[in-house]
Structure 1
Amino acid sequence: MTGLLERADAPPAAPAADPRPDRPSIWPRLRADLRLARRQSLRGWASSLLVVALIALPMTLVAGAIVFGMGHVATTEERIRAELGGADAWVSIVHGPDPSLTQYLDEPTWWDVAREEQTGELINEELPPHGSARPFLPAGAIEIGAGRVTAETAGGIGAMTAVIGDAAASVLRGRFELIEGRAPASDSEVVVSPGALERLGVGVGDRLELTEPVATYTVTGVLKRAEDPHAAEVVFLPGTPANRALQEDVSSTVWYLPEWSPTPDDVRALNREGMIVFDRDLFVAPGDMANPWASGDALALSMVWLIGAAAAFAGYLVVLLAGAAFSVSARRQQRALAVAASVGATRADVFRVVLLQGTVLGGVGGIVGSAAGIGLGILFLHLFDDGSTTAFQGVHVPWWGLAAVIAFAVIVGTIAAIAPARAATKGEVIAALRGSRRPARVRVDRPLWGVLLIAAGVGLTAVCALWLAAINAEEFVSGDDGRRTICIIGIILGPILLQVGVMLGGHWLISLLARPLSRLGLASRIASRDAAANPGRIVPAFAAIAACAFLAAASLGSIALVTKQAERGWTYAAPVGSVSVAGWMDDIDRQHLAVGTVVTGWQDDGAGASRGVYIDAEATARSLLESAGPGTLGTVWDAGTGRWDATGTLLNPDDILAFPRMEHIDAALAADQCKELEIADCRWHQSPWWNLGIVDATELEAVTGEELSTAELAAYRDGAALVLDPDYIRDDGTVAVAFSTQERLAKTEVAEAPTDVVSVAAIRRDQPQRQVSVLIAPELADSWGLRSGNWTVIATYDVPLTTAQVDSLQQEADTLSRTGEVGMWPHLESGPPDAAPWMWLAVGATAVLVIGASSVALGLARVERRPDDATLAAVGGTRRLRRGIALWQAAIVAGLGMVTGTVAGILPVWGVALASERIYNPPSFGDMPWLWLVVLALGLPAVIALVSWLVPPRDPDLTRRTAIA
């Protein structure tokens, strides 16, 4: 075999050019990391299911809220159908003719007229509105008006809304929905709403009896307006001239145009006549007359903000809890990750493997949650559908919103895996293969940052609160003072910093807590040390619990302060649960009327004056209340009422007035009020005449709701006064009653002193918020020459009145009111709103969240403690000891979170109370529900710890026991 050789003296050949190697692509490594992440997720399927469930549950609620909220936002077609049905346009009169009136074509009810910038007065002359829009519209317009009618109901007489016109016309289907039966075919037939059908106690084909106006109709069907719920009580009357007379106001009348589409110029012309127009085509394409802040957009934007805030809070909790789950899962993958590292995986690969598990599981949780949220949203749309289009426009699934939910879930899952992924890269490969772990150590910087933020949060809240108190103490403070805004922001920001500090210093706090707990017994020692050794799952758990407790404490405090404020400002017309019917008189000369006589009508005497028509209306009210079988019945009469004629002349100037004088009033408050009102004698001005009532001794129990002793009743009959407000009682046990006249009372610019003052023995009852503060017997009123005026009949019932009975009362009240001289109205005294349901709701919602967070943390602890349980059982640890460990673990996690969160939640409520000191009847920090807060902070963790003790630990697997390091 031959070949050519180079000459020895030949120059060496130039080496071949070595091209620069390409930078290795990240995608192969990323695909490998993703493959490992998927396999590790499937291998640890139990932990993966937990993480998916933690992510999917809040995503279900968020997606359901989006579907539910968008179900209340109408599409363009739905809005047009609800406004017009099959018509082309509608026209409504909203103002008098004005050349400056303009409207938006896509929001006709947003109209405006030109006004002066400084005074707000109209620039153009204000003219009366047109009586009808028909002269300005083409033929064929359907006029639909509104009014009121009174009808015989199933148990009495009741007032209802009347819609007047051909509402059942086929062209208006959609605007008015025919639910059952058929449209009226003549003027003797009507349709009614579902609520009216139930209230009237009739069916399709039955007779409808109207009492005002008097008429009889046949019910042919059930109809409702698109925006009305099924419970709305509406009678749809034919548009006869007699019925048109019932229309209350031209502004409540709408003209529908079946075949007329106006141009923008036509709309502007009608605007100048004081009318607005909704047109089908112009609503879709409004051009330059579009509303930049459409109500639908505003509604959608408000829902986005609300749902976004809820999603942010839910994401915060999921990051904490799912992070704890990832922490446990990453430690259980320690050996597998070490094997990957031993064959070439870098720390970046290990980081990505754990991180991508969060991404994958977050995406799965987002998809599952979105799918479940669609069903949940549709379910709640149907559950809360009351028949109104404002409550249920239709099922609108916003796919863009669900895509955002899935993306948010991916982000949440990825963020939750960051801390465990970082921890996974810090282990040594050989140690991980051997299965050993380094003990957890408290970092030096985190306790410092935690203490700093805790101190900053408490200090910021205290400084801002004290500064706000100093601002409130100033004599003149503007309501929009910027300093107050800064203080309020600081008071709210302080508790947030406090919670962040507790979370950053959480491991340090647990380590400090472990020292005293170690002295309480073996179980507490093991549990506290286990918590200190596993901050990755303990700190996120109690941080999530603290966030829930923060919201709960702030909610409980706010609810308590608002309801207590309402209670202090509530004026009771009667004892709670009773029914009162009050009556008053107007414009009559009653100087010769005896006590208890009531004028209920008047008639012309032929000489231009009027004379009273006297009947006992108070007796009528008593008979109505007696028909329902009351337990007790009583009447409170006032001590006279001033009467004026049409010219403003006082008709009874010499009538004597009596009023209790409050001598225990705040001097500074009295001086300020008297100076403002130019009142000379503050002592009796602070005690107006209506605080004195006249009640028969036999009816005191019904009026006050309390039973008096025989001695107290005897004293009352002999001339003592029953005082419900203790501030009227003087040091000697009497109440001062001052006398004046109607003429002197009318001189409010310079009030004169009372003509006489007498002392009356007082019988004390503490009901300071009653409308009448001092009660006297009729015999004492007669001896003083008092004339009774207005009255209130009070009845107590063992069983609340039915709707039919209230209908009967209301009908009689309407009848008397139409006479023009006496008005009556029934009132069920229910008292101020009860805070208990809202408090239970806040505690219940918090309990669900806290129990869920605790279950996750404690469940992870039990899973991770299985080798330790096996070791304890091997060296003689009893089941009771392991139960005790579970109890103390629950107490540490739930207790620490609930206490810190509750304390943080109290701080902003304190700030709000300070910020409100200058308003009338301000909320008081003393109204905080301390018992509820103690139950929240201590009782709920105790229950969780007890349940954890009751749940028996799993039998240890001794064959897989690990050695004690």
Structure 2
Amino acid sequence: MSGRLATWRVALRIARRDALRAKGRSALVVAMIALPILGVTAADLALRSGDLSRSEELTRDFGRADARYQVETNGSPVQQSPTGNELHYLDESSWEETPDRTAEEVAAELGGMLPAGTEILTDRSTHGVVHSRTGLLTTEIRELDAASPLTEGMLTLLRGHFPEGPDEVAATQAFLDESGLYVGSELRVKDDDRTYRITGAYELPGELNNQQIVALPGAVLPLPESASGGDGWLDTRVSALVGVPDGPVTWDMVMAANERGLSVDSRAVILDPPPDSEVPLYQDGMSMGDYSSEADPMVVAGAVTAVSLIILEICLLAGPAFAVGARRSRRQLGLVGSNGGDRRHLRAIMLASGVVLGAVAAVIGVVGGLVLTLLAHPLIENQSGSRFGPWDFRVLELVGIAVLAVLVGLCAALVPAFSAARSSVLDSLTGRRGVRRSGRVLPVIGVCALVLGAALAIVGGLTMNSSVVVAAGSIMAELGLVALTPLLVGVFGRLARWLPLAGRLALRDAARNRGRTAPAVAAVLAAVAGTVAVATALASDDAEHRADYRPMLPEGTVSIGSWDFAENQLDRAGAIAEDSLPVDVRADAYRIRVGAEGCDPYDFDPANACGLAEAVVPPERLCPLWQPEAESLTVAERRELNDDPRCAEGDQGWAIEGSALTVAGPELLTVLGVDPAQAEEAARALERGEAVAFNDRTVDDEGRITVQVYETQPENWNEDGSPAEEPDAVATFTAHRVDAKGYGFPPIISPTAAEAQGLDTELAEIYYSTTRVPTGAEEQAFDAMLAEELGTPPSTYIEDGYESEAAMGLLILGLAAMVITLGAAGIATGLAQADSEADLATLAAVGAAPRVRRTLSGLQCGLIAAMGVLLGAVSGLIPAMGLRLAEHRSEVASWEDSVDQGWGSGPRPELFIELPWATFAQLIVVVPLVACLLAALLTRSRMHLARRAG
């Protein structure tokens, strides 16, 4: 045992001296191992610090308070789960009512329920419209004494101070950025003469992007009706924070509050919930308990794959460096052998080199990762939209990461160590490398692993619906392709004959030294494969979301309209739009008016309501799935009918509410983006008095559309939802079918055709096409001008179109892959230069131009990057396709179950596999070119021959 310790002590001393002697090569090895370790360390600290405990989450939710009491009803009892995730209204009608309990009433009620000395802090929030720098902006308005000690941890003051008087407010930084205001600005609510000075900027630690202003209780609310930006009582919440002096808020106190229509988030109850036997909600069978958070198998599979590829990449990057180091130290190893050292000693010296450099890399990587996270945490927090909690340094995990670095260095030195131990002393002293043929076993294993892994990943996604199987297959295929890399490098080398001198030298050098080139190519392959897999998943998700997006109108289209606004007011609103927005074509759309003057279309009381104009749906157009007898259908019949065109969902969009027909001119067809040829034919049909239809739902077998008119609301209805009474009038139109997206519009007739049928009309909406999508500042200015000119403006809508959230993620992935690829290719090029000094000296000796050395280095780097990127792009598609197939299979199973049970219908989920072409172009074209240029620029064109090579 003492002999082994002595051997390793000498080996470590030799390895340390050799590392100091060859500082350049040692720095490359340390960089190879330290860079991934740095990333893993940074990710560990960021994830641990960003993963808040339940207690920390509660502090962000309601500060230092013991509980938050929330108004749910006007007094009717409710039942809740201990964590507040589930709520049940005992009075079934109470959830529809609007709680009108004021903050003062809630505070008074809590004062009688809670112990004496309890601190009660009311918290009320709603959404309202305020003036921004350029116009109007909808934001959250909150009334809370933010300076109270109870709110500590809820809001973080950035500068200034929280409001201290009724004429002061503070605003989140997100609101200031969006509105263009700043601390010291004057803020005014729409249609309110009062002004408020912004005294401070703050942020919500868990919602950095939330736009909010906070004022003292009673300072801003209630808002003028025209300034309300919410959707009813669901957007206006009244709650109270309480601090109990003599103990926590217990479960009995929570249930007492439930009896009065209040839900409670109690810190003590959430952290230490009562048994299910004491929870009334569970006893009544209304719940199966709170939802537990389980890890997403897709995320777990992705994480396992990513970690495996990182470890693989480290070994691949470090292995060639140790191989080069072994060749550069062959004379030293030969001297050890000639002085009595055996193979055990030679292996120990090479392995000790891996341990020494791995230990140095561990220190640099761990320390660098910690420092990087400490410096970059504001950027990480802003990207994630949430602040870290307290710094969470997991010492055991950091030690494990450091040990991993040492083990990786040791593993990377294994193959060079055994190769050096097998070399004869004579070969080591003379420097002869000998000739070794490439093995045939490794390529065969690689092909088998690639085929089996790819099949397993695809089959796992198609049939097993298992992300674990997909991950296992992906890793197996990746390892198989890595095993094939030496063979593929040799295949690439055969292309050298078609290249000029420098390219021929670079490619042949890469093929001849596969032990150095193949691992570097494989390392680039691993990095690019992970990037392509994630980028493909992001692009596919984005394509699915884009397909699911249902625009209300064509992109950029402006809609102005309201039932209560007179025609002259809408005309004025249209003039404002023409002055402030990049509008193009205007189209006026009228609705059919039925009933007495001044009737209320939203009142279903026959005494006050308007009449009804309804387009008749022919019996042959009705979907059986929507009829009362649908309950008797079999599963097979449901699935068959689900594909029936009659049961397809109609166009979703901006339908003229309350009208069976749209009365408009051909300009509306232009605004809706109908093909010019079809629009011209449809315009002629409108002139003939026909109705232009976008679907066949209301078109009977004879090609006609029938509209029934009821002067008053029918009192009797059939089971299928149609009126059971005879109509007061019937209008019939010949249908002209247009194959275009209708955006929910009913059939269009001309004003002349409506008049000919005796139908009264009124202006309902004004539509504008635009030359481009209006900016946010233009929309705010438009809203402000409407409010200023018309007081209470009409409702407006601007279709902004689908906004992709994947572009930034794809860009970050591409840049990260570029950095890793450039690093791996640059390191491999540096090793090639260190390993090829004799060849370069020979080139200089025979008169090669100085630029040949620079060009050779650039092409060496570019070729390694190009080979790795091409193979990685193909390899990364395997896990991406497997995981997408597994996810799609899960969606289809859920859809089939919903259809079979009669819970819903709709089209079968589609499989979206979108290739990230922009990322491919960035990796396949840009990265190799950048690698080639950087290597050429950073390489000296001349070299000095101190002595004859060899």
Common fold: TM-score over 0.5: yes
1:447 maps to 2:424: no
SS at match of 2:580: coil
Name the structure 2 match of 1:238: 217
Q: 2:337 is matched by which residue type in structure 1? A: A
1:312-391 maps to which residues of 2 (within 5 A)? 312-383=308-379, 390-391=386-387
Name the structure 2 match of 1:855: 826
Name the structure 2 match of 1:626: 578
Q: CA 1:299–1:456 in structure 2 vs 1: closer, same or farther (change >3 Å)?
A: closer
Can you list the C-alpha shifts for 1:467-516, whole angstroms capped at 9, x where unaligned? x4xxxxxxxxxxxxxx4425x76665545433322322333333444446
C-alpha RMSD over aligned residues: 5.7
1:704 to 650, 673, 681: 673
2:416 to 417, 420, 423: 420
Q: CA deviation at 1:349?
A: 2.2
1:254 to 240, 243, 259: 240
Can you list the C-alpha shifts for 1:733-763, whole angstroms capped at 9, x where unaligned? xx966334378998783989x996635496x
* Structure 1: tracts of 5 or more residues without a match: 1-22, 104-108, 116-120, 469-482, 584-597, 601-613, 666-670
SS at match of 2:241: strand
1:758 maps to 2:734: yes
1:796 to 770, 777, 785: 770
1:501 maps to 2:480: yes
1:405 to 401, 407, 410: 401
SS at match of 2:432: coil
1:137 to 95, 107, 114: 114
Can you list the C-alpha shifts for 1:644-670, whole angstroms capped at 9, x where unaligned? 75258997777364999999x9xxxxx
Can you list the C-alpha shifts for 1:359-403, whole angstroms capped at 9, x where unaligned? 222222222222222332122223455699942435554444433
Q: Distance in 2 between matches of 1:911 and 1:723?
A: 46
SS at match of 2:422: coil
Name the structure 2 match of 1:646: 604
Name the structure 2 match of 1:557: 536
Q: 1:418 is matched by which residue type in structure 2? A: L
Q: CA deviation at 1:442?
A: 1.0
1:587-626 maps to which residues of 2 (within 5 A)? 598-600=563-565, 618-619=570-571, 621-626=573-578
- Is the Cα contact below 8 Å between 1:654 and 1:742 reproduced in 2? yes
Q: CA 1:365–1:464 in structure 2 vs 1: closer, same or farther (change >3 Å)?
A: closer
- Is the Cα contact below 8 Å between 1:638 and 1:788 reproduced in 2? yes
* Structure 2: tracts of 5 or more residues without a match: 280-288, 595-600, 624-632, 724-729, 896-906
Q: CA 1:834–1:893 in structure 2 vs 1: closer, same or farther (change >3 Å)?
A: same
Q: Distance in 2 between matches of 1:741 and 1:673?
A: 36
1:844 to 787, 812, 815: 815
SS at match of 2:552: coil
Name the structure 2 match of 1:545: 524
Q: 1:30 is matched by which residue type in structure 2? A: W
Q: 1:499 is matched by which residue type in structure 2? A: E
Identity among equivalent pairs (%): 24
Q: Distance in 1 between matches of 2:55 and 2:722?
A: 65
Q: 1:809 is matched by which residue type in structure 2? A: D
Name the structure 2 match of 1:60: 38
Name the structure 1 match of 2:626: none
Q: CA deviation at 1:328?
A: 1.0
1:69 maps to 2:56: no
Q: CA deviation at 1:53?
A: 1.7
Q: CA deviation at 1:259?
A: 3.0
Q: Distance in 2 between matches of 1:231 and 1:566?
A: 23
1:429-508 maps to which residues of 2 (within 5 A)? 429-460=425-456, 468=462, 483-485=463-465, 493-508=472-487
Can you list the C-alpha shifts for 1:85-141, whole angstroms capped at 9, x where unaligned? 5666655567889898563xxxxx45668x9xxxxx989999999964332113443
Can you list the C-alpha shifts for 1:432-466, whole angstroms capped at 9, x where unaligned? 0111112232123212212322333455467667x
Name the structure 1 match of 2:628: none
1:30 maps to 2:8: yes
Name the structure 2 match of 1:637: 589
Q: 1:42 is matched by which residue type in structure 2? A: L
Q: CA deviation at 1:231?
A: 6.0
Name the structure 2 match of 1:655: 613
SS at match of 1:572: coil
Q: CA deviation at 1:49?
A: 0.7
Q: Distance in 2 between matches of 1:674 and 1:651?
A: 40
Q: CA 1:298–1:68 in structure 2 vs 1: closer, same or farther (change >3 Å)?
A: farther
1:534 maps to 2:513: yes
- Is the Cα contact below 8 Å between 1:723 and 1:775 reproduced in 2? yes
Q: 1:739 is matched by which residue type in structure 2? A: T
Q: 1:545 is matched by which residue type in structure 2? A: V
Q: 2:832 is matched by which residue type in structure 1? A: A
Q: CA deviation at 1:772?
A: 4.6
Q: CA 1:252–1:336 in structure 2 vs 1: closer, same or farther (change >3 Å)?
A: farther
1:896 to 867, 874, 892: 867
SS at match of 1:704: coil
Q: Distance in 2 between matches of 1:459 and 1:660?
A: 51
Q: CA deviation at 1:540?
A: 0.9
Q: Distance in 2 between matches of 1:307 and 1:747?
A: 57
Q: Distance in 2 between matches of 1:950 and 1:722?
A: 70
- Is the Cα contact below 8 Å between 2:537 and 2:884 reproduced in 1? no
Can you list the C-alpha shifts for 1:713-745, whole angstroms capped at 9, x where unaligned? 9858745999897999x9xxxx96633437899
Q: CA deviation at 1:42?
A: 1.0
Can you list the C-alpha shifts for 1:247-284, whole angstroms capped at 9, x where unaligned? 95897402322634237576566577576767788889
Q: CA deviation at 1:182?
A: 6.2
Q: CA 1:146–1:899 in structure 2 vs 1: closer, same or farther (change >3 Å)?
A: same
Q: 1:863 is matched by which residue type in structure 2? A: A
Q: CA deviation at 1:48?
A: 0.8
Q: Distance in 1 between matches of 2:400 and 2:266?
A: 35
- Is the Cα contact below 8 Å between 1:92 and 1:255 reproduced in 2? no
SS at match of 1:138: coil
SS at match of 1:655: strand
The higher radius of gyration belongs to 1
Q: 1:540 is matched by which residue type in structure 2? A: P
1:206-245 maps to which residues of 2 (within 5 A)? 209-210=188-189, 229=208, 232-239=211-218
Name the structure 2 match of 1:473: none
Q: CA deviation at 1:55?
A: 2.2
Q: Distance in 2 between matches of 1:563 and 1:199?
A: 26
SS at match of 1:193: strand
Q: CA deviation at 1:27?
A: 1.7
1:865 maps to 2:833: no
Q: Distance in 1 between matches of 2:948 and 2:618?
A: 86
2:942 to 930, 951, 955: 955
Q: CA 1:411–1:306 in structure 2 vs 1: closer, same or farther (change >3 Å)?
A: farther
Q: Distance in 2 between matches of 1:626 and 1:855?
A: 57
Q: CA 1:514–1:165 in structure 2 vs 1: closer, same or farther (change >3 Å)?
A: closer
